[in-house]
A and B are shown apart, each in its own frame.
Chain A
Amino acid sequence: MDKMPRWADVVLIPLISLCLALFASGLVVLAIGEDPVKAITVMIKGALGSTSGIGYTLYYATNYMFTGLAVAVAFHARMFNIGGEGQAAISGVGVAVVLLAFDWPHWTIALPFAILGGGLFGAVWAAIPAYLQARRDSHIVITTIMFNYIAAAVMGFLLNGIMKNPNTQNAETVNFPDGAHLPTIHEMLAPLGIEFSKSAPANVSLLLALLCAFLVWFLLWRTRLGYAIRAFGHSPTAASYAGISAFKITMIAMIISGALAGMLSINVVMGEQERLIKEFVEGAGFVGIAVALMGRNHPIGIILAALLFGMLAQGGFELLWEMPGISKEVVLVIQGMIILFTGALDYMVRKPIEKMFIRAREGQS
């Protein structure tokens, strides 16, 4: 018999953890002499107060959906992929190579190839640590973190060298052809007569992220491969007795994970920047960890958590203007608190609530 109803596990506990994390972050804000209530109001208003704010929130949320799904798929195979940052960065190179290769006539033709390019590059960058884990027993947490830094070096090398736009001082490529322009939400809603901010960068990639969430759900819970991944994650020894190859699952899960992280560059590089710049990932790979934990590694949870973190990111930028005493890295503190409370201190929150439900049931019977 379950200790508590499903809704308590899926909704109540994450909410309580979230409140605890926000409360602890509020104490930090209080400690540096600022008003936490005002800060959270500014953040929420900045994130949801205008269609421009909403557009930015959705844009960041799109990124976090991709990286959150990436972390979750690896998590289901009992691997901790901290390398989303590097995988996304390298995938940007793939997207740029594809989009600069031809004068694309229309985005609908360019998009599938950009997805292939970005996905492939991201997957390769994840496959190397996966191979080292599977064959050489190299701790994947350490190798993926090193690969983040190696990716940054590779980006610096390429963007200051062969991929550099010769007409500027910056480390960036030339602009992609006009035909590769992805429609923004403004452009998608305008024909329907709905007003939406022109400046907001959210674009059609949001739909791609939702599609990816569905595909991940389908893969993990409706296919034989997904079952194998989850079985392996649950108990590697039992899985190996069932004839599931540890090597195969490790490789496949990390390749899918890397490709998902790579989709971030569809949103950012193709959708927003329309050229490849050096530091476009901006920590989204790491946020994916918090998103996956908060979302309980389930696509629906990840979508909701990504929206929450999108709000935090956009709200954090708003803080810069309204409360200059608070650095925007306060978002990192909130993320850290959320990972701590939803991930590591889960049992602390769970235990009293379990007890409460058990007591309530005993009272009824």
Chain B
Amino acid sequence: MDFAHSFLQVIIAMDMTVRLSVVLIFACLAGLYSERAGIFDIGLEGKLLISAFFSAAISYETGNVWIGVLAGVGASMVFSLIHGIASITYRGNQLISGVALNFLASGLTIVIGHAWFKKGGQSPALPQSSRFHEITLPFADAMRDIPMIGPLYADVISGHKPLVYVAFLLVPFTWWLLFRTRFGLRLRAVGENPASVDTAGVSVIRYRYAAVMIAGVLCGLGGAYLATSQASAFGREMSALRGFIALAALIFAKWRPWHALMACLLFGFLEAISNLYPNINVFGIFEIPVQFTQALPYILTVVILAGFVGKAVAPRAGGEPYVKER
């Protein structure tokens, strides 16, 4: 294998890593807001799925992908609202509420899809106008011929669909919002010590709802990316555990935005590897079975959770409903 060939392989893998990380980044940041405010959210998966469905369905019907994205975000926010009502207003178990939403998303997408498109729960393939298209950043073509940097810029950084850039820009924005604004300080305080925030005259309930709804918007964008950018139609269970992998990434990142980006890129890379090399041959002696490479992202999620996280200190008030003292 010569150098040029392996360099090309690396570029392809990096490009794919970026594409596959996007959903994880959206979902992971969604979890970040929610859990920083003290609300666990295992319903990320369901929100990705319901948004994927409605964004595909509505952009297919309207022929406008942005309206589709709005529909997806809206559906995801409805789910967030249910999660908020259950876990904030009625102080229900947050894990159970999340599981319920995942069930509902699995069921609703297929039941509604089956009745709507009569294709066994799939959506029709989206026409060109109902999908996102690649953006070529300035000078991408001009720079392509520069060795090393050229292809890196032209293929890995440039040439992605709009939501990819939204996802990556959201990371610094989230850092700024959470760690450099009053809103962020209060939001984090609500997740660590709600009673003190309450004493200061800030509504715990309102901040928790805000966090949960932000999570809804982000999951909505993630799901819309899945159906209109990464794929070009809705398919059954197309979220494929990404909501849970994002949660693992969030724990791995210890609830910090920049670390979350790195963790999501790592998981995206694992998925890219298992897509690119389904049959890995070890020294020509034996072939690693395809089932193993498919399960690799899941196995490594467990390994990373178990082995490398160390002591992950979650927001202290996470998972507990806040009851105002009387």
Contacts and interface: CB of A to CB of B under 8 A. Distances in A.
A150 B298 contact: yes
Which of the listed residues B91, B95, B96, B105 has the most CB atoms from chain A within 10 Å of its own CB?
B96
A303 interface: no
A330 B85 CA distance: 24
B235 to A, nearest CB: 14
Contact of B306 (A138, A332, A334): A138
B100 A147 contact: no
B306 A132 contact: yes
Contacts of B291: 153-154, 156-157, 160
Interface stretch (B127-135, B202-210, B307-315): B307-315
Contact of B106 (A132, A142, A332): A332
B110 A329 contact: yes
B136 to A, nearest CB: 37
Contacts of B309: 136-138
A142 B300 CA distance: 12
A225 B67 CA distance: 57
B124 interface: no
B100 A339 contact: yes
A212 interface: no
Contact of B99 (A129, A339, A347): A339
Contacts of B120: 327
B85 to A, nearest CB: 8
Interface in B182-237: none
Place the interface of chain B in its size category. 35 or more
Interface string B81-98: 010011100111111110
A358 interface: no
A176 B98 CA distance: 40
Interface residues of A, number: 52
A82 B115 contact: no
B100 A333 contact: no
A331 interface: yes
B273 to A, nearest CB: 16
Contact of A326 (B85, B111, B241): B111
A340 interface: yes
A293 interface: yes
Contacts of A340: 82, 86, 97, 100-101, 104
Interface in A322-357: 325-327, 329-337, 339-340, 343-348
B90 A329 contact: no
Contacts of B166: none
Interface of A: 28, 31-34, 80, 82, 129, 132, 136-139, 141-143, 145-147, 149-150, 152-154, 156-157, 160-161, 286, 289-290, 293, 325-327, 329-337, 339-340, 343-348
10 closest Cβ contacts across the A-B interface?
Answer: A332-B107, A336-B103, A344-B97, A153-B295, A333-B107, A336-B104, A343-B96, A32-B115, A344-B92, A327-B114
24 contacts: A28-B111, A138-B309, A139-B247, A141-B95, A142-B244, A142-B251, A145-B244, A146-B301, A150-B298, A157-B291, A325-B115, A326-B111, A327-B114, A327-B120, A329-B110, A329-B111, A329-B114, A335-B103, A336-B107, A339-B103, A340-B100, A343-B96, A348-B86, A348-B92
